[in-house]
Chain A
């Protein structure tokens, strides 16, 4: 039984593909945990974003740049810009409400399963950071990644067309 290869060409590693499918989801959940737990436990938007980036890089290993591009509904630059918008908005909304820049508020909300959960508006700021980091990683893959397929498959060396130029 072989998985359907999204990219034609080199042979794909079934075990790698399947395990990445599982790992990808798990790591994304972990990154969200880091994001939300960050205010009280080790973690935060930056670490969360980096973890999500690592998950994305796994997708790249299995499916190439195409898989990265389809990982999120939104294009990478939108994710990046959205992140900055959220963070800057969080910083500026208190000013509109008559407070200082970056002033944060908090509110405890009773939820059915989790009990009393405290929401801090700083979380929104952290979500912005998270999105910026994820967008950055996505953009890096879009810019530098190739659509040639998995990394292991690039058997032929790069042709000396000048892209491998150094120390001229």
Chain B
């Protein structure tokens, strides 16, 4: 398994590096990674389905007990087949998608078709696939988190791959802000759960799940992380924004795999924690809201890709409702839905990409129906959309039937009836937007007064080549096959469900379950969907007036932007207050904190004055020092002040000499000389006299601060000299002097201390010197170089706002135009 992860890393890096040479064929290189994974999967599948998971362990730091564990159980097997299976198909698809032939009018992605950008895309998608495999295979919570964040980062880079497009940059930023925020919550939650459970191994947590109120808090954090990743309300706004990415990315990351990471995590945890605390309430509420909102919004889109994006949001809510309950019968429906959704949604995205590629538009108002050579494409689209809608004989129907049956007959949770109604209502919406997709593709929704060239654009559009269509066609074949013969999946689904719920009954999927309650509900769904489609004009009008009436309610997009703005404004205010650019205030704050706080501690240890004067020389030296210090504080010119400070230092060196410390004196002398010179160097950049125009802090305050510092140092010196006897013992200095020659081989005890006895300290000090020198140099260089330091937060926000307000833009457009005009 580690080999496979490493393979993704190598292939991804190679694809990025060779992008310029390979261009779109970098995807052929990228395809090798999922292909290898699938082959390996086939060798393992037999054992895993029989109930013995494949495990791999990599000892990293043995002493700390750090190891990376990967486990391929039944559920991971299902997820890996989705990740690698769809990944392989997407790679094939992308080779054709990035083909240079583009009809006129497609100016949106020319930059993204640049060979290097395409190679980067291929490599990033491979890296992403590796990270995604890591999520589903990790048996360690922290490893899972690391892979989780890696998918967020690769997703950010993939959305923003076309880095000349401000909308792409803004959408990428929004996506990583939301998922990153969720990632932090997830980390907190995982740590809480890991600490409470005493282990970070998922398999061990499954054996003995922790309980308690702290675990509940951790679970809420985990759910927030899962909700942001899987675009649940109110965190869903990044997913439609992410549709600016090229279609292969949208089809792979933002419908089939990455957005399912949150669902995956919820599915793993639900059997253990669903009964605890507020898990079920949260999952069911959020899942219901997401499913409904996504469906309602999807119904209003004119852009086919956005329609699919909101449809994905809705379906993700559905999955949460199914996999988050922790009940095995309902989870069964969720497992099947995971597979069915991967098949039909990837197909639909690929078809949107084909339409976009061949006509240059995805707007239903500009699609006027395609020529006869598009039959196969249209067939695939109809089958996939029908599967999404839940039409019988297709794969999607099986999962929807299981879901309804699960909630009808086994839904012994609070609010199961409400959830059932939500599922039925949202399924009606799903049918309606699926129908809208098909109608849009057949040109039923086209604007009537279009000019002939526009009509010709789709009528005479070049039909997609076999390579372009093959991936979508093969997924359509799967949708049909598994819809007609669901029994073929029995073992596979059973293994996946068994990994989540070991006690679940053996799975038997049926095409036809008889006239059960679920079938009645399915019929209601289809009937309602047909009605919504037939009466689509009044429905659209009602939706518009409803949206207008609710306009005062802040949408998630607007709240998100408002929050960002508020953060920026607050940060700027705080910075303006705390970092006001006044050096005197900075210095005052630093020295006051550094002196006043220890002063309180010093005063307690103060025990009397030592003998103050030992010889008349002291009086003369100290008198001169006091004079120089006073002079330094009252002279007008800076340079004079610096010289006076130097004088204080030299006199101090004199004091050392009288006390018999030539080494100290020598050092002090040299330091004073150099620092005076450096003072002069710096002072050249400042006015020669102190300015009295606008003192940042008043003179009394300056005096006060100086006195406080002076007093502290005074007390500190007294206490330190008194404390030496208590702490180190009076013999310490004698010990060092005595051992200087025999142990340190030197007569100069000061030097022996520096290079030998306390050599570590010296080594540390010269390291600090080096760091300080680097800091001072870069500071001086920054001061000389002025100007651009990258975009400010405000500029970023201005860029972000129009791009993320997808829904607002749709509202405005719908106000201007009557979309639904019959032909």
Specify which of B755, B763, B780 is in contact with A44 (CB 8 Å cutoff): B755
A74 within 8 A of B: no
- Please name all residues of chain B whose beta carbon is closer than 8 Å to the beta carbon of A50 when the two chains form the complex: 667, 670-671, 673-674
Q: Which residue of B lies closest to A44 (CB)?
A: B751
A143 within 8 A of B: yes
In the complex the two chains form, is A87's CB within 8 Å of B751's CB?
Answer: no
Specify which of A53, A101, A139 is in contact with B760 (CB 8 Å cutoff): A101
Q: Which chain B residues in 677-701 approach chain A with CB under 8 Å?
A: 677-678, 680-682, 684-688, 691, 694-696
In the complex the two chains form, is B670's CB within 8 Å of A47's CB?
Answer: yes
Whole-angstrom CA separation of A77 from B775 in the bound complex: 12
In the complex the two chains form, is B760's CB within 8 Å of A146's CB?
Answer: no
In the complex the two chains form, is A122's CB within 8 Å of B756's CB?
Answer: yes
In the complex the two chains form, is A139's CB within 8 Å of B744's CB?
Answer: no
Q: Which of B662, B694, B756 counts the most chain A CB atoms within 10 A?
A: B756
- Please name all residues of chain A whose beta carbon is closer than 8 Å to the beta carbon of B777 when the two chains form the complex: 139, 142-143
Whole-angstrom CA separation of A126 from B759 in the bound complex: 10
Contact with B along A142-158 (1 / 0, CB 8 A): 11111000010010011
Q: Which chain A residues in 127-168 approach chain B with CB under 8 Å?
A: 128-129, 132-133, 135-137, 139-146, 151, 154, 157-158, 163-164, 166-168
In the complex the two chains form, is B769's CB within 8 Å of A151's CB?
Answer: no
- Please name all residues of chain B whose beta carbon is closer than 8 Å to the beta carbon of A133 when the two chains form the complex: 766, 769
- Please name all residues of chain B whose beta carbon is closer than 8 Å to the beta carbon of A34 when the two chains form the complex: 666
In the complex the two chains form, is A84's CB within 8 Å of B766's CB?
Answer: yes
A-B contact count (CB 8 A): 165
Specify which of A45, A51, A154 is in contact with B684 (CB 8 Å cutoff): A154
B776 within 8 A of A: yes
A40 within 8 A of B: yes
Contact with A along B744-757 (1 / 0, CB 8 A): 11111011101110
Whole-angstrom CA separation of A42 from B748 in the bound complex: 7
A80 within 8 A of B: yes
B723 within 8 A of A: no
In the complex the two chains form, is B685's CB within 8 Å of A43's CB?
Answer: no
Q: Which residue of B lies closest to A48 (CB)?
A: B670
A78 within 8 A of B: no
Whole-angstrom CA separation of A55 from B366 in the bound complex: 81
In the complex the two chains form, is A166's CB within 8 Å of B773's CB?
Answer: no
B485 within 8 A of A: no
Specify which of A57, A101, A102, A144 is in contact with B780 (CB 8 Å cutoff): A144
With both chains docked as a complex, state the minimum distance between the C-beta of A56 and any C-beta of chain B, in angstroms.
9
Whole-angstrom CA separation of A25 from B677 in the bound complex: 19
In the complex the two chains form, is B770's CB within 8 Å of A158's CB?
Answer: no
In the complex the two chains form, is A39's CB within 8 Å of B751's CB?
Answer: yes
Decide: A158 near B687, CB < 8 A? Known: A42-B663, A120-B745, A122-B744.
yes
Whole-angstrom CA separation of A43 from B662 in the bound complex: 9
In the complex the two chains form, is A141's CB within 8 Å of B681's CB?
Answer: yes
Decide: A164 near B680, CB < 8 A? Known: A135-B773, A140-B773.
no
In the complex the two chains form, is A91's CB within 8 Å of B759's CB?
Answer: yes
Decide: A122 near B755, CB < 8 A? Known: A46-B667, A87-B766, A101-B760.
yes
- Please name all residues of chain A whose beta carbon is closer than 8 Å to the beta carbon of B746 when the two chains form the complex: 39-40, 120, 122
Specify which of A38, A118, A135, A144 is in contact with B681 (CB 8 Å cutoff): A144
B783 within 8 A of A: yes
Whole-angstrom CA separation of A50 from B673 in the bound complex: 9
Interface residue total, chain A, C-beta cutoff 8 A: 58
- Please name all residues of chain A whose beta carbon is closer than 8 Å to the beta carbon of B744 when the two chains form the complex: 104, 122
Whole-angstrom CA separation of A83 from B494 in the bound complex: 67
In the complex the two chains form, is B748's CB within 8 Å of A102's CB?
Answer: no
Interface residue total, chain B, C-beta cutoff 8 A: 55
Decide: A136 near B760, CB < 8 A? Known: A43-B748, A45-B755.
no
Q: Which chain A residues in 49-101 approach chain B with CB under 8 Å?
A: 50-51, 53-54, 57, 60, 77, 80-81, 83-84, 87-88, 91, 101
Q: Which of A40, A88, A135, A154 counts the most chain B CB atoms within 10 A?
A: A40
In the complex the two chains form, is A144's CB within 8 Å of B773's CB?
Answer: no
Q: Which residue of B lies closest to A38 (CB)?
A: B751
Binds A, one of B70-78, B85-93, B173-181, B579-587: B579-587
Q: Which chain B residues in 564-589 approach chain A with CB under 8 Å?
A: 580-584
In the complex the two chains form, is A166's CB within 8 Å of B583's CB?
Answer: yes
Specify which of B580, B671, B673, B773 is in contact with A139 (CB 8 Å cutoff): B773
Decide: A102 near B760, CB < 8 A? Known: A137-B674, A168-B582.
yes
Whole-angstrom CA separation of A50 from B676 in the bound complex: 12
- Please name all residues of chain A whose beta carbon is closer than 8 Å to the beta carbon of B670 when the two chains form the complex: 47, 50-51, 53-54
With both chains docked as a complex, state the minimum distance between the C-beta of B698 and any C-beta of chain A, in angstroms.
11
- Please name all residues of chain A whose beta carbon is closer than 8 Å to the beta carbon of B773 when the two chains form the complex: 80, 135-136, 139-140
- Please name all residues of chain A whose beta carbon is closer than 8 Å to the beta carbon of B770 when the two chains form the complex: 80-81, 84, 132, 135-136
Specify which of A91, A118, A167 is in contact with B763 (CB 8 Å cutoff): A91
Q: Which residue of B lies closest to A31 (CB)?
A: B670
In the complex the two chains form, is A87's CB within 8 Å of B763's CB?
Answer: yes
- Please name all residues of chain B whose beta carbon is closer than 8 Å to the beta carbon of A120 when the two chains form the complex: 745-746
- Please name all residues of chain B whose beta carbon is closer than 8 Å to the beta carbon of A139 when the two chains form the complex: 773, 776-777
B767 within 8 A of A: yes
Q: Which residue of B lies closest to A106 (CB)?
A: B745
With both chains docked as a complex, state the minimum distance between the C-beta of A93 and any C-beta of chain B, in angstroms.
13
B781 within 8 A of A: yes
In the complex the two chains form, is A140's CB within 8 Å of B681's CB?
Answer: yes
Q: Which of B581, B685, B760, B763 counts the most chain A CB atoms within 10 A?
A: B763
- Please name all residues of chain A whose beta carbon is closer than 8 Å to the beta carbon of B756 when the two chains form the complex: 102, 104, 122
In the complex the two chains form, is A57's CB within 8 Å of B662's CB?
Answer: no
Whole-angstrom CA separation of A120 from B472 in the bound complex: 78
With both chains docked as a complex, state the minimum distance between the C-beta of A39 and any C-beta of chain B, in angstroms.
4
Decide: A145 near B681, CB < 8 A? Known: A106-B745, A128-B766, A167-B694.
yes
With both chains docked as a complex, state the minimum distance between the C-beta of A142 and any C-beta of chain B, in angstroms.
7
With both chains docked as a complex, state the minimum distance between the C-beta of B759 and any C-beta of chain A, in angstroms.
4
- Please name all residues of chain A whose beta carbon is closer than 8 Å to the beta carbon of B767 when the two chains form the complex: 84
Whole-angstrom CA separation of A143 from B667 in the bound complex: 24
Whole-angstrom CA separation of A83 from B673 in the bound complex: 22
- Please name all residues of chain B whose beta carbon is closer than 8 Å to the beta carbon of A77 when the two chains form the complex: 774
- Please name all residues of chain B whose beta carbon is closer than 8 Å to the beta carbon of A87 when the two chains form the complex: 762-763, 766
In the complex the two chains form, is B763's CB within 8 Å of A168's CB?
Answer: no
Q: Which residue of A lies closest to B695 (CB)?
A: A167
Contact with A along B724-762 (1 / 0, CB 8 A): 000000000000000000001111101110111001101
With both chains docked as a complex, state the minimum distance between the C-beta of B747 and any C-beta of chain A, in angstroms.
4
Contact with A along B784-801 (1 / 0, CB 8 A): 000000000000000000
- Please name all residues of chain A whose beta carbon is closer than 8 Å to the beta carbon of B671 when the two chains form the complex: 50
Specify which of B666, B686, B747 is in contact with A166 (CB 8 Å cutoff): B686
Whole-angstrom CA separation of A157 from B689 in the bound complex: 11
With both chains docked as a complex, state the minimum distance between the C-beta of B274 and any C-beta of chain A, in angstroms.
56
Contact with B along A4-25 (1 / 0, CB 8 A): 0000000000000000000000
In the complex the two chains form, is B781's CB within 8 Å of A102's CB?
Answer: no
Whole-angstrom CA separation of A48 from B537 in the bound complex: 91
- Please name all residues of chain A whose beta carbon is closer than 8 Å to the beta carbon of B755 when the two chains form the complex: 39, 44-45, 104, 122, 125-126, 129
- Please name all residues of chain B whose beta carbon is closer than 8 Å to the beta carbon of A164 when the two chains form the complex: 685-687
With both chains docked as a complex, state the minimum distance between the C-beta of B630 and any C-beta of chain A, in angstroms.
23
Contact with A along B122-155 (1 / 0, CB 8 A): 0000000000000000000000000000000000
Could you show 29 A-B contacts with beta carbons less than 8 Å apart?
A39-B745, A39-B747, A40-B746, A40-B747, A42-B748, A44-B663, A44-B754, A44-B755, A47-B663, A50-B671, A53-B670, A54-B673, A84-B770, A88-B763, A102-B756, A104-B745, A104-B756, A122-B745, A122-B759, A126-B754, A133-B766, A139-B776, A143-B781, A146-B684, A158-B685, A164-B686, A167-B695, A168-B580, A168-B582
Closest 6 CB pairs of A and B: A50-B670, A143-B780, A40-B747, A39-B746, A102-B759, A167-B696
Residues of A within 8 A of B (CB): 34, 38-47, 50-51, 53-54, 57, 60, 77, 80-81, 83-84, 87-88, 91, 101-102, 104, 106, 118, 120, 122, 125-126, 128-129, 132-133, 135-137, 139-146, 151, 154, 157-158, 163-164, 166-168
New A-B pairs, 7, CB < 8 Å, besides A101-B760, A168-B580: A44-B751, A45-B754, A102-B760, A106-B745, A126-B754, A154-B684, A168-B696
